[in-house]
Structure 1
């Protein structure tokens, strides 16, 4: 089973290639420390949202890697990428994984530590 648009064909000709997320702005300027805390809290609680822990671990590794390595990680884990920026993905069993933009990139209004 897969999702709409997924394919069971050989090769990855139909697989979506990962792209950098679009620039985004947090509701108020935050520091790098605050951003890291938000990310840590998300990854600590992510498995409680459903899905398999190994897929969450693969998505975390992909979110922290450069694009080439991230692509290899999601491909080898069998992750079906719905949105090229990794904000919505599925596993091979059809479980949905949603990643907030703050775990994938930095906001445009990141402020310096005081």
Structure 2
């Protein structure tokens, strides 16, 4: 028997928030799938230049492109602290901030075919 907040021995301590799907969003001007793909590639190519560790940026990219359970595993194993449940704002263990724009997290609702 234990306290109300006690856990079984060996149960992992949760690291931050649970990840969820991003909210639907709308691009000002509708864009095509090719355009959003280009924007994403450009973001991931330049993201490490904004600060933080390249390894964390790489882990975030893989997490964003994975399903939710795999993303949660990636984030936890990389030591990423989730500030925003949709991964739009995260931190590493040294306090560096990682901001991810909507177009990296999901497709807009007004995506052109």
Instruction: Give the TM-score normalised by the residue count of structure 1.
Output: 0.87
Q: CA separation in 1, counterparts of 2:28 and 2:38?
A: 16
Q: CA separation in 2, counterparts of 1:67 and 1:61?
A: 11
Equivalence for 2:80: 79
Per-residue Cα deviation, 1:48-97 (whole angstroms, up to 9, x for no partner): 00000000000000010000000000000000000000000000000000
What displacement does 1:15 show? 2.2
Q: CA separation in 1, counterparts of 2:99 and 2:79?
A: 16
Equivalence for 1:67: 68
Q: CA separation in 2, counterparts of 1:101 and 1:89?
A: 14
Give the secondary-structure state (helix, strand or coil) at the position aligned to 1:44.
helix
Alignment pair present for 1:50 and 2:51: yes
Q: Structure 1, unaligned stretches of length 5 or more? A: 1-9
Q: Which runs of structure 2 are paired with 1:94-113 in the superposition (5 Å)?
A: 94-112=95-113
Q: CA separation in 2, counterparts of 1:84 and 1:90?
A: 12
Q: Which runs of structure 2 are paired with 1:6-17 in the superposition (5 Å)?
A: 11-12=13-14, 15-17=16-18
RMSD of aligned Cα (Å): 0.9
Structure number with larger C-alpha Rg: 2
Q: CA separation in 2, counterparts of 1:104 and 1:87?
A: 7
Runs of 4+ in 1 over 6 A off after TM superposition: none
- Answer yes or no: is the 8 Å Cα contact 2:16–2:83 preserved in 1: no
Q: CA separation in 2, counterparts of 1:101 and 1:56?
A: 16
